[in-house]
């Protein structure tokens, strides 16, 4: 088991600068971060899993420490398959806490070997979410400082 590999799971619909902030902070702790997009057909997503992976690739193209992947099923099973014993998540505000706490404890119950680690983003991103970015972009607002350039382009393609 590689102790220095973390899985950073999420919907990433689309990835925001808040996600990038967490990945970059995580890279100061872990040797490798596997950013993994959940394949969840029941959830209404704007972008396909492939499109989301593509956007993440465009940010981390030349960084061998970041692997972009997708997963289905239980997160702890996926983490074990990838040889990782850490799940990385971002915690923006108290409002995130209840959901994250429940998820971390359930994951611990399912597999006590796998630890959950939480990092706080820079304060400028505590208000940021994929949903609010989609809403602002769909209404013609400027999102250039909220998402990577490749994501801005893709969002504009969808909405404009
Ligand atoms: O970005 P999101 O939507 O908050 O990410 C949620 C995610 C993908 C981390 C969570 O839904 C998840 O881990 N799903 C996998 C299913 C699972 O393992 N469930 C049991 C533990 S809660």
pLDDT, one tens digit per residue, over 30-42 is 999 999 999 986 7
Share of the chain above pLDDT 70, in %: 96
What's the 140 CA to ligand 1 centre distance in angstroms?
A: 30
Identify which has the larger pLDDT, 130 or 95: 130
Q: What is the pLDDT of residue 2?
A: 52
Active site residues: 19, 43, 92, 130
Q: What are the phi and psi torsion angles at 41 (to 5°)? A: -65, -20
Do the beta carbons of residue 143 and residue 30 sit within 8 Å? no
The per-residue pLDDT for 68 is: 98
Question: pLDDT at residue 9 above 70?
Answer: yes
Is the CB–ligand 1 distance for residue 39 below 6 Å?
no
**105 touches ligand 1 (CB under 6 Å):** no
Show the CA angle centred on residue 116, arms to residues 115 and 121, nearest 5°: 150
Confidence check: pLDDT of 22 > 80: yes
Atom in ligand 1 nearest the alpha carbon of residue 103: 22
| Distance in angstroms (rounded) separating the CA atoms of residues 43 and 130 | 14
Residue 3: its pLDDT value, please? 54
- Please give the average per-residue pLDDT across 2-19, as a whole number: 92
Dist. CA 10 → ligand 1 center (Å): 7
* CA separation for the pair 94, 80 (Å, rounded): 29
Q: Please, are residues 2 and 83 in contact by the beta-carbon 8 Å criterion?
A: yes
Tell me what the mean pLDDT of segment 117-121 comes to.
97
Q: Look up the pTM and report it.
A: 0.96
**89 CA: nearest ligand 1 atom:** 9
11 ligand 1 Cβ < 6 A: yes
Residue 1: predicted pLDDT: 54
In the reported structure, the alpha carbon of residue 145 is separated from the centroid of ligand 1 by a whole-number distance in angstroms of 27
Nearest CA to ligand 1 atom 4: 10
| pLDDT tens digits, one per residue of 62-77 | 899 999 999 999 999 9
Contact 94, 122 (CB under 8 A): no
Domains of the chain, each with CATH number or no CATH = 5-159 (3.40.50.620)
For the four alpha carbons of 98, 125, 15 and 83, in that order, the dihedral sign comes to: negative
Closest CA to 112 of 90, 85, 89, 91: 85
Q: Is the pLDDT of residue 146 over 70?
A: yes
- The average confidence (pLDDT) of the chain is 95
Pocket test for ligand 1, best of 20, 35, 75, 101 (most atoms within 8 A of CB): 75
Contact in structure between 141 and 6 (CB atoms under 8 Å): no
């Amino acid at each position: 088991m590689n102790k220095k590999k973390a899985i950073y799971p999420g919907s990433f619909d689309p990835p925001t600068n808040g996600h990038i902030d967490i990945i970059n902070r995580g890279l100061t702790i872990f040797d490798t971060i596997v950013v993994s997009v959940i394949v969840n057909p029941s959830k209404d997503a704007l972008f396909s899993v492939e499109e989301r992976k593509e956007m993440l690739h465009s940010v981390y193209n030349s960084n061998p420490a970041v692997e972009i992947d997708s997963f289905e099923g239980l997160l702890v099973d996926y983490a074990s398959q990838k040889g990782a014993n850490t799940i990385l998540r971002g915690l923006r505000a108290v409002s995130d806490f209840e959901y994250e706490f429940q998820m971390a404890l359930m994951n611990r119950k399912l597999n006590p070997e796998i630890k959950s680690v939480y990092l706080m983003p820079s304060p400028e991103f505590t208000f940021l979410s994929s949903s609010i970015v989609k809403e602002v972009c769909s209404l013609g607002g400027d999102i250039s400082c909220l998402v990577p350039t490749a994501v801005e382009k893709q969002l504009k393609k969808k909405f404009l």
